[in-house]
Structure 1
Amino acid sequence: MELKQKGTKADIGAFKRMDISLIWRAAVDLDLMAFYRTRDGRTGGVYSDNYEGGTLGALDAFPYIRLSGDAGVGGIGGNNREVMSIARIDDFEEIYICALNFTDAVVGESHLFADYDARIEVTTDRGETHSIPLDSTQPGSVAVICRFASGFIAGELVNDSRVMNLESFRAEIPGADRLKIASKVTLKEKGDSFAIKPKITAGEILINLNWDQSPQEKVQTGFFSKLLGGRSGGAVDLDLGCLFELQNQAKGAVQPLGNSFGSFDAPPYVLHLGDDRSGAWTEGENIKVNLAQMHRLKRLLIFTYIYEGVPNWTATNAVVTVKVPGQPLLEVPMGSQTDSRNFCAVAMIEFSAGELKVTKLVTFHQGHPDCDKTYGWGLKWVAGSKE
Structure 2
Amino acid sequence: MIRLGAGKRGTDGTPDGTGDGASTRASGPTADRTPDGPGGGPAGRDGGLRGRDRRAAERGGGSRGTDRRSGGRDDGRSGPSGQRQKPRSLLTRGSPTVRLTGRGVLQVNLNWPPGHDVDLDLGCLIEFTDGGQAVVQALGDAYGSLTSWPYAALDQDDRTGAASDGETLRVSMEHRARFRRLLIYAYVYEGAVDFRRLGATAEITGPDRSGGSHRILLDDSPPGAVACAIALVAAERDGLAMRREVRWFTGSQELSPQEQIDHAYGYGMTWVSMTKPPR
SS at match of 1:317: coil
User: Alignment partner for residue 384 of structure 1, among 268, 274, 277?
Assistant: 274
Q: Which amino acid aligns with 2:270?
A: K
1:345 and 1:363 in contact (8 A); partners too: yes
Structure 1 residue runs of 4 or more that deviate by more than 3 Å after TM superposition: 105-109
Does the alignment pair 1:189 with 2:93? yes
Q: Could you tell me how far 1:336 is from its partner in structure 2?
A: 2.8
For structure 1, which runs of at least 5 residues remain unmatched after alignment?
1-104, 110-140, 142-165, 167-180, 216-234
Does the alignment pair 1:266 with 2:170? no
Which residue pairs with 1:358 in the alignment?
Answer: 242
Which residue pairs with 1:290 in the alignment?
Answer: 172
SS at match of 2:187: strand
SS at match of 2:268: coil
Q: Could you tell me how far 1:183 is from its partner in structure 2?
A: 2.7
User: Alignment partner for residue 343 of structure 1, among 227, 233, 245?
Assistant: 227
Cα deviations across residues 120-177 of structure 1 (Å, max 9, x unaligned)?
Answer: xxxxxxxxxxxxxxxxxxxxx8xxxxxxxxxxxxxxxxxxxxxxxx7xxxxxxxxxxx
SS at match of 2:211: coil
Q: Could you tell me how far 1:247 is from its partner in structure 2?
A: 1.6
Q: Could you tell me how far 1:314 is from its partner in structure 2?
A: 2.2
Cα deviations across residues 197-242 of structure 1 (Å, max 9, x unaligned)?
Answer: 22xx2x3111100012323xxxxxxxxxxxxxxxxxxx11101111
Which residue pairs with 2:20 in the alignment?
Answer: none
Identity among equivalent positions (%) equals: 27
1-side partners of 2:161 and 2:219: how far apart?
20
Which residue pairs with 1:374 in the alignment?
Answer: 264
Q: Which amino acid aligns with 1:280?
A: A
Q: Could you tell me how far 1:256 is from its partner in structure 2?
A: 0.4
Greater percentage in strand? 1
Does the alignment pair 1:308 with 2:190? yes
1:204 and 1:291 in contact (8 A); partners too: yes
Task: Summarize the alignment of residues 66-215 of structure 1 with structure 2, pairs less than 5 Å apart.
Answer: 107-109=80-82, 181-189=85-93, 192-198=96-102, 201=103, 203-215=104-116
Q: Which amino acid aligns with 1:273?
A: D
User: Alignment partner for residue 124 of structure 2, among 238, 242, 266?
Assistant: 242
2-side partners of 1:251 and 1:208: how far apart?
22
1-side partners of 2:230 and 2:114: how far apart?
18
Q: Could you tell me how far 1:383 is from its partner in structure 2?
A: 0.6
1:339 and 1:364 in contact (8 A); partners too: no
What is the TM-score of this pair, normalised by structure 2? Answer: 0.63
Q: Could you tell me how far 1:190 is from its partner in structure 2?
A: 7.3
Larger-Rg structure: 1
2-side partners of 1:190 and 1:250: how far apart?
33
* Higher relative contact order, structure no. (Cα contacts within 8 Å, ≥ 6 residues apart): 2
SS at match of 1:315: coil
SS at match of 2:149: coil
SS at match of 1:295: helix
Distance 1:309 1:190, change over 3 A: farther
Q: Which amino acid aligns with 2:107?
A: L
* Number of corresponding residues: 190
Distance 1:261 1:241, change over 3 A: same
User: Alignment partner for residue 331 of structure 1, among 202, 208, 215?
Assistant: 215
